[in-house]
Amino acid sequence: MTGQLALNLNRSWWCLIILLLLINACGMFSPVLNSNDAYFYAVISKTMVSNHDWLNLYYASQDWLDKPHLPFWLTALSFKIFGISAFAYVLPGFIFHCVGAIYTYRLGKVLYSEATGIAAALIYVSSLHLLLSSMDIRAEAFLLGEIVPACYYYLRYDRVDGIKNLLLASLFTGLALMTKGLFIVVTIFSGLVAMWLYSGELRKIIQPKWLLAYALSLLAALPELICLYVQFDLHPEKLVFGQQQVSGISWFFWGSQFGRFFNSGPIVNNHGNPGFFVHTFLWAFLPWSLLFIGSIFAAWRRFKTENATQRAASLYLQSGFWLTFIMFSATKFQLDHYTNIIMPFAAIMVANYILNQAPKLAVISKIQQGLTFIILCLSLAISIFFFRGSWLIISALIPTLILGYCIFQRSKISVAKWILTLPALAVASSFIVLMLVNAFVYRSYDAGYNIAQYLKDKPAATVYNLEVPGLINNLEFHSELPVAEAHLPLPNNYPYYLAIKNDNLSQLESYNYEKLARFNELEMTKFIPAMLSSNKYQYSLIMIDLVKVNGRHSN
């Protein structure tokens, strides 16, 4: 690393990291969530709070066995403190996302240097999918703040022992087990096992100090096992996914992980593609994807010339990344957010590559410049498209100012600044624009949110959803009134509110009802294509009527 580059990686880098985290945090104040899955998980946590039951997981009044408890406990605790809101839902996952950033820095520092750790943290907080996933909270947001600390403390435990390292590593591993299940041990331990294998120390796997670590990790996950045993193993008569005699303990150690891996569980997916995560990671890790590819080739070329410490670090990161990547690719359950948990390893590899190769990165610097311009131009175009008739058009100033700075200072900007700072700012500007679109534009297409707002001052009554796809979770999360699904013939506990597709109003001919309002519903995944289309209805835009049903017509 050159002296000039070392000088650059000072307090200003930390300020940039903090700025990016603050920008990221602004997304928590959007009144709507970013996906149907987020609403689904939020409803389960809301049910936990409403029932005053922290032991059992329920969805739609049915026992639910698909994810471990920890994310729901943390979200329910947030609901208890801050009330039921999108902010309270996102906050716990965002905190764990920040913990992941801190330990990416610490892991990079212990493997290479403080400069590498800082650069890795900057890459982490500016990676496109990590930015988005820190607002669209799923298990992976929590895992980032569990797996990376576990890796850090186990690495220190391997080098220097220490009761603190042992206890913290086991605690974070236990938290990860209670978040996702058994397969997370592959990501946590694969780097260590690869180093031991390379150095001829594989016998460490069964040394007493490591057997103790495994035992303490399982002990830390004991609350999850107790809850599963009480809810399911003690009640073999319960019907779960159409089956009785379901064991929660067996599900935890086999069904939740191997069942999905071998596609033999109650939930199956027959559309997996071995190449799915290749193109997924390339866009999800923007704007650092090309640098990651360069870092892989550079690491392979340098391996024979490096000293033992450098080889160990390279093996650790490569194994942690690739074994998990291959495991994901081998299963048919493939979702883009799965790659989040290996991005910290990629961030450290890229950071080390930049710090060691910066003087030779002229070509990649040019590519990063082009990528920066493309991202900024897209952000500017999205701002103008969505906000041209609104005061929010001011959001277009952000990419415009960065774009102008790039153009007028192009000859004065160092290679390191081009490679790290400007792409990070470009991605941050696009994130701001997307969060504003979510908060102020997509909100008008979230029928669940808008129906709940409309009914806030109306007389209390049950709100029913009559076969409107995708509405029930949004509505139940935001509504202060009881919410339930309905089917024909309708319930007779009149009066009540009913959400029904506009096309299906004829089904209410035998009922006495009054129309209250009309709303539009559109899935987030179809939002951008629908906005760009001249015919939004081809993207499943649904017109929903809210009616008040007072009774049946007398014959």
DSSP readout, 514-546?
EEEEEEEE--GGGHHHHHHSS-GGGGT-EEEEE
Looking at residue 397, its pLDDT comes to 86
**Are the beta carbons of 429 and 402 closer than 8 angstroms?**
yes
**Are the beta carbons of 41 and 75 closer than 8 angstroms?**
yes
Single pTM value for the model? 0.91
Looking at residue 52, its pLDDT comes to 92
How many residues would you count in the chain? 555
Looking at residue 5, its pLDDT comes to 47
Looking at residue 146, its pLDDT comes to 96
Q: Are strands 542-552 and 511-521 parallel, antiparallel or unpaired?
A: antiparallel
Q: In a 3-state reduction of DSSP, which class is residue 512?
A: strand
Dihedral sign for Cα 290, 296, 302, 307, please.
positive
CA distance 99 to 148: 9
CA distance 230 to 238: 12
CA distance 189 to 415: 36
Looking at residue 98, its pLDDT comes to 96
CA distance 305 to 169: 32
Residue 551's DSSP bridge partners are: 512
Residues of the chain scoring pLDDT < 50: 1-2, 5
Dihedral sign for Cα 485, 490, 493, 499, please.
positive
Q: In a 3-state reduction of DSSP, which class is residue 500?
A: strand
Smallest CA-to-CA distance from 387 within 449, 425, 433 is with 433
Residue 499's DSSP bridge partners are: 465, 546
Q: Indicate the angle between helix axes 114-125 and 86-111, nearest 10 degrees.
A: 150
The pLDDT tens digits of the residues spanning 456-497 come to: 989 999 999 998 888 889 999 999 999 999 988 898 888 999
Cis peptide before 71 (omega within 30 of 0): no
Dihedral sign for Cα 147, 148, 152, 153, please.
negative
Smallest CA-to-CA distance from 512 within 484, 543, 546, 554 is with 554
Looking at residue 237, its pLDDT comes to 85
Would you tell me how many other CB atoms lie within 10 Å of the CB of residue 452? 20
Looking at residue 212, its pLDDT comes to 95
Residues contacting residue 250 through CB under 8 Å, at least 6 positions apart: none
Distance of CA 64 to the CA centre of its chain: 21
The pLDDT tens digits of the residues spanning 235-270 come to: 888 888 778 888 889 888 877 776 666 565 556 666
**Both structure tokens of 439:** 């908060």
φ, ψ of residue 496 to 5 degrees: the values are -155, 165
Smallest CA-to-CA distance from 254 within 314, 182, 203 is with 182
Looking at residue 213, its pLDDT comes to 94
